Amino acid sequence: MDLRQLRYFVTLAEQRHFGRASELLNIAQPPLSQQMKALEADLGVELFDRSTRPIGLTPAGQTLLREARLILSQVARAEATTRRAGVGDGGRLVIGVTGTAALEFAAPALRAFGRRRPNVQLALREMSSPAQLVALAAGDIHLGFLRPPVPDDQFAIKLVHTDPFVVALPADHPRARQDAIRLAELNGAPLVIFESKEAPAFRDLILHVCRSAGFVPSMIQDAQQIMTMLCLVGSGMGIALVPRSARRLQIEGVVFRPLIDTSPDVELYAAWVPNDGASLAQDLLDLIDEDASETRVRPDLNIIETRK
């Protein structure tokens, strides 16, 4: 049993689907399956109940999941502490972000952090929420801003932002002239939505809001990124439910309208591994607490890397 197998196991146990887990781990399904069978053979127990869809965990698998998360957290702590010891008072804070909300509400804090810690390099990586969980466990990022669910037995988590849903419409849609919209008024329109592998829980939340409001789409068009979703809306391919912060993405041919329907807010969490190397992440979160004002993202941040 090695760390790679444990990372594979935790990802598969959380995703409960070989296809999604293999995509997040960037490996093919057969090698992932072989690694899990090798792990089971090494331990002498079955870890997965493969008779169900999605796959489940046996009692032994549930036990290993708890222990594996602790082991991976300790490894990430050792790596982060060692790296910080090597860079002294400076350091590097790698942040995972999803969508537009994180940059919108965190922009003032990022600027203040750059002034307070000028020797710290900030690196932003745009990643899906499931990918952030994998990166946090591996120590590849130090702080993630992501959508739930987030396992609180492995990470420290904090609710940092809530955003109401709005509906994105083609500008020439008949309902675009209204100040606010009931989803049922759009019944039968195509729906543009996140792919399940990119944001499974967020996708489920959107579909729940649609069902509760009496909206049944004529078809569903999948997209990986919110920018792609809005471009499809602007092309007349359908409507989309998006967080209000998406309005900052000014896409030609797209208008945003608030919902009359009552719906849950979109939650955004901060997640980090609670270890000795987490002080930089905590400093940034403290600044976010201090400054909750809305500020546009400007190019005066101390950011040296932006990567998808």
Which residues belong to CATH 1.10.10.10 in the chain? 3-71
Q: Is 47 helix (H, G, I), strand (E, B) or coil?
A: coil
Structure tokens at 54: 């999605």
Tell me what pLDDT residue 36 has.
Answer: 95
Residue 120: which H helix or E strand, with range?
strand 120-126
Q: Quickly name the fold that domain 165-264 has.
A: D-Maltodextrin-Binding Protein; domain 2 (3.40.190)
Successive 10-residue mean pLDDT values, the chain, 308 residues: 92 92 92 94 93 90 93 81 58 84 74 85 88 90 90 86 93 94 94 86 92 93 90 95 88 94 88 77 84 42 39
Tell me what pLDDT residue 258 has.
Answer: 95
CB atoms within 10 A of CB 212: 13
- Spatial separation of the C-alpha atoms in residues 219 and 205, rounded to whole Å: 17
Tell me what pLDDT residue 257 has.
Answer: 96
CB atoms within 10 A of CB 289: 11
CB atoms within 10 A of CB 222: 16
Tell me what pLDDT residue 103 has.
Answer: 66
Q: Is 125 helix (H, G, I), strand (E, B) or coil?
A: strand
Which residues belong to CATH 3.40.190.10 in the chain? 89-161+267-307, 165-264
- Spatial separation of the C-alpha atoms in residues 215 and 159, rounded to whole Å: 29
- Spatial separation of the C-alpha atoms in residues 173 and 236, rounded to whole Å: 9
Looking at this protein, which amino acid is placed at residue 81? T
- CATH 1.25.50.10 assigned to 89-161+267-307: no
Q: Quickly name the fold that domain 3-71 has.
A: Arc Repressor Mutant, subunit A (1.10.10)
